[in-house]
């Protein structure tokens, strides 16, 4: 791809964008739920199933060797993508939720005890709340909450006070809020947690598609994210962990691949990362995910962030001119997400009618009910942008939104 960011060429790389929905051009503003896939990812899936399909690692025939090579190449690409020390620290899961549960049920079960405190934030997705509640209940630990202010910014003073006055063993926070787009200061959060000896898991589901994450520079203990929010296939997740932590953790699931030797007298477990990858993995989608990483690498440096920042600024400016519209979450540091409510109108009604105009947004509580409760809302409308979106699409969205509001008034 050329050094200059060519939006027209980029849009051609994503075939799903070129279609009509309900008689109108598709405007896809639901990227925080899942991103669309470039043609090279779609082609990679087709290639795998038509040329290389086989089970991996132990087969000696050509197809098995090709499938294994493609699968493990994605692990190598992820090591480079995150600047991890080793491919052994890259564990494939089924998604962010699975990665968080793996850490909660292995690290948590081995290390938490009665009276320990696990900190989560008021910005979390349910998948970074419920697993910690489950293990806390089992171990007699306690989950406490880092508060968020009216703008959607975490209260770092309260965070430090929580660290200093409680038996905090673990901190689980998202890098970016899926519901309102806030970018959290994870470098500070991690450093403060480490100051008191706590470990940190970062939910990177909403951040990895928008800017680079250097796990070594940030000193991240655990990072979980999903391929489908990074322009790759569904059903694939990644868990990164520091080697010493992963080696000390017991296996999560038992079965094939995660073992070294099995007898009725006992079982010895495989080395990293396979200790945590029981059973036949999602080979095809892992293989294709590697091509999503290749695509992102081909884009001009900083182009993604600059394009999305321009879209966020423009959409915010246009939406704030609509009477009765209130943007929920206006943190100084945000990704390209605008969450909003309209006075006297239910978010779901807006979402249904916008679809009639070809506009796809997300409505509801966004699996962040505690955050919605903080704002005394049942839900919001959420428009989330990717680098393949345009200002002209925002114009279509705003026009459709105004018509929708008129219809519902």
DSSP letter at 90 equals E
Q: How confident is the model at residue 72 (pLDDT cuts 50, 70, 90)?
A: very high
If you average pLDDT over residues 42-50, what whole number do you get? 98
Nearest-angstrom CA–CA distance, 237 and 203: 11
Helix (H, G, I), strand (E, B), or coil: what is residue 237?
Answer: strand
Question: Is the N-terminal amide bond of 273 cis, ω within 30° of 0?
Answer: yes
Give φ, ψ of 85 to 5 degrees: -70, -35
pLDDT in tens, 184-230: 999 999 999 999 999 999 999 999 999 999 999 999 999 999 999 99
If you average pLDDT over residues 305-316, what whole number do you get? 97
Give φ, ψ of 40 to 5 degrees: -65, -30
Catalytic residues: 367
Cα separation values, 322 from 174, 343, 360, 375, 406, Å: 31, 11, 19, 21, 11
If you average pLDDT over residues 33-46, what whole number do you get? 98
* Token pair belonging to 124: 């979390």
Nearest-angstrom CA–CA distance, 156 and 256: 44
C-alpha torsion 169→174→175→180, nearest 10: -150
**Beta carbons within 8 Å of 300's beta carbon, 6+ residues apart:** 1, 2, 3, 4, 5
Nearest-angstrom CA–CA distance, 261 and 269: 7
Give φ, ψ of 61 to 5 degrees: -85, 170
pLDDT in tens, 238-266: 999 999 999 999 999 999 888 889 999 99
Cα separation values, 67 from 43, 57, 62, 155, 290, Å: 15, 9, 9, 47, 13
pLDDT in tens, 19-30: 999 999 999 999
Whether residue 302 has pLDDT greater than 90: no
Domains present along the chain, CATH in parentheses: 7-30+301-408 (3.90.1150.10), 44-297 (3.40.640.10)
Nearest-angstrom CA–CA distance, 409 and 407: 6
Handedness of CA 368, 374, 379, 380 (dihedral sign): negative
Whether residue 1 has pLDDT greater than 50: no
Q: Among residues of the chain, what percentage have pLDDT more than 70?
A: 99
Q: What share of the chain is helix, strand, coil (3-state, %, to 5)?
A: 45, 20, 40
Buried b (16+ CB within 10 A) or exposed e, 131-151: bbbebbeebebbbebbebeee
Question: Token pair 């495989």 is at which residue?
Answer: 270
Residue among 147, 138, 226 nearest 182 (CA): 147
Whether residue 128 has pLDDT greater than 80: yes
Which pTM value belongs to this model?
0.96
- The reported pLDDT for the residue numbered 59 is 86
Long-range pairs for 7-10: beta carbons < 8 A, 24 or more residues apart: 7/307, 7/388, 7/390, 10/299, 10/387, 10/388
- The reported pLDDT for the residue numbered 256 is 86
DSSP 222-234: EEEEEGGGTTS-T
C-alpha torsion 158→163→166→167, nearest 10: 150
- The reported pLDDT for the residue numbered 329 is 97
Cα separation values, 173 from 127, 298, 331, Å: 11, 30, 16
Whether residue 2 has pLDDT greater than 50: no
Whether residue 315 has pLDDT greater than 50: yes
Question: Token pair 């994870």 is at which residue?
Answer: 186
Report the alpha-carbon angle 180-184-189, nearest 5. 150
Question: Contact at 8 Å (CB) between 228 and 289?
Answer: no
Whether residue 43 has pLDDT greater than 60: yes
Nearest-angstrom CA–CA distance, 129 and 110: 19
Whether residue 3 has pLDDT greater than 70: no
Q: Which of 256-265, 304-313, 335-344, 381-390 has the lowest mean pLDDT?
A: 256-265
- Residue-averaged pLDDT of the chain: 96
Question: Contact at 8 Å (CB) between 399 and 210?
Answer: no
Nearest-angstrom CA–CA distance, 225 and 230: 9
Report the alpha-carbon angle 126-128-134, nearest 5. 85
- The reported pLDDT for the residue numbered 165 is 78
Q: Among residues of the chain, what percentage have pLDDT more than 90?
A: 94
If you average pLDDT over residues 269-290, what whole number do you get? 96
């Amino acid at each position: 791809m050329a050094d200059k960011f060519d939006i027209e060429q980029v849009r051609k790389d994503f075939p799903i964008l070129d279609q009509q929905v309900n008689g109108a051009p598709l405007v896809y503003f639901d990227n925080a739920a899942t991103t669309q896939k470039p043609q090279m990812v779609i082609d990679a899936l087709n290639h795998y199933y038509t040329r290389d399909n086989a089970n991996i690692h132990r087969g000696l025939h050509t197809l098995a060797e090709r499938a294994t090579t493609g699968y493990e190449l994605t692990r190598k690409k992820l090591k480079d993508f995150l600047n991890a020390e080793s491919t052994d620290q890259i564990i494939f899961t089924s998604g962010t939720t699975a990665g968080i549960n793996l850490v909660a049920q292995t690290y948590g079960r081995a290390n938490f005890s009665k009276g320990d405190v696990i900190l989560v934030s008021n910005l979390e997705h349910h998948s970074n709340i419920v697993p910690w509640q489950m293990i806390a209940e089992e171990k007699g630990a306690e989950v406490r909450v880092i508060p968020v202010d009216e703008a959607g910014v975490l209260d770092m003073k309260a965070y430090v006070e929580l660290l200093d006055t409680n038996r905090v063993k673990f901190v689980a926070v998202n890098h970016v809020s899926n519901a309102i787009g806030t970018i959290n200061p994870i470098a500070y959060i991690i450093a403060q947690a480490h100051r008191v000896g706590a470990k940190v898991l970062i939910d990177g589901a909403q951040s990895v598609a928008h800017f680079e994450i250097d796990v070594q520079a940030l000193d991240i203990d655990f990072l979980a994210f999903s391929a489908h929010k990074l322009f790759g296939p569904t059903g694939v997740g990644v868990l990164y962990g520091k080697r010493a932590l992963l080696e000390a953790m017991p296996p999560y699931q038992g079965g094939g691949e995660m073992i070294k030797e099995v007898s009725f007298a006992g079982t010895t477990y495989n080395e990293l990362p396979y200790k945590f990858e029981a059973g036949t993995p999602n080979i095809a989608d892992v293989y294709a995910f590697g091509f999503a990483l290749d695509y992102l690498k081909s884009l001009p440096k900083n182009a993604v962030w600059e394009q999305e920042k321009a879209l966020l600024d423009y959409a915010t400016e246009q939406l704030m001119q609509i009477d009765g519209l209130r943007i929920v979450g206006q943190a100084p540091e945000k990704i390209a997400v605008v969450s909003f409510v309209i006075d006297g109108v239910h978010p779901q009604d807006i979402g249904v009618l916008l679809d009639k105009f070809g506009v796809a947004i997300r409505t509801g509580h966004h699996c962040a009910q505690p955050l919605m409760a903080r704002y005394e809302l049942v839900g919001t409308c959420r428009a989330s942008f990717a680098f393949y979106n345009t200002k002209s699409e925002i114009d279509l969205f705003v026009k459709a939104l105004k018509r929708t509001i008129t219809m519902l008034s």
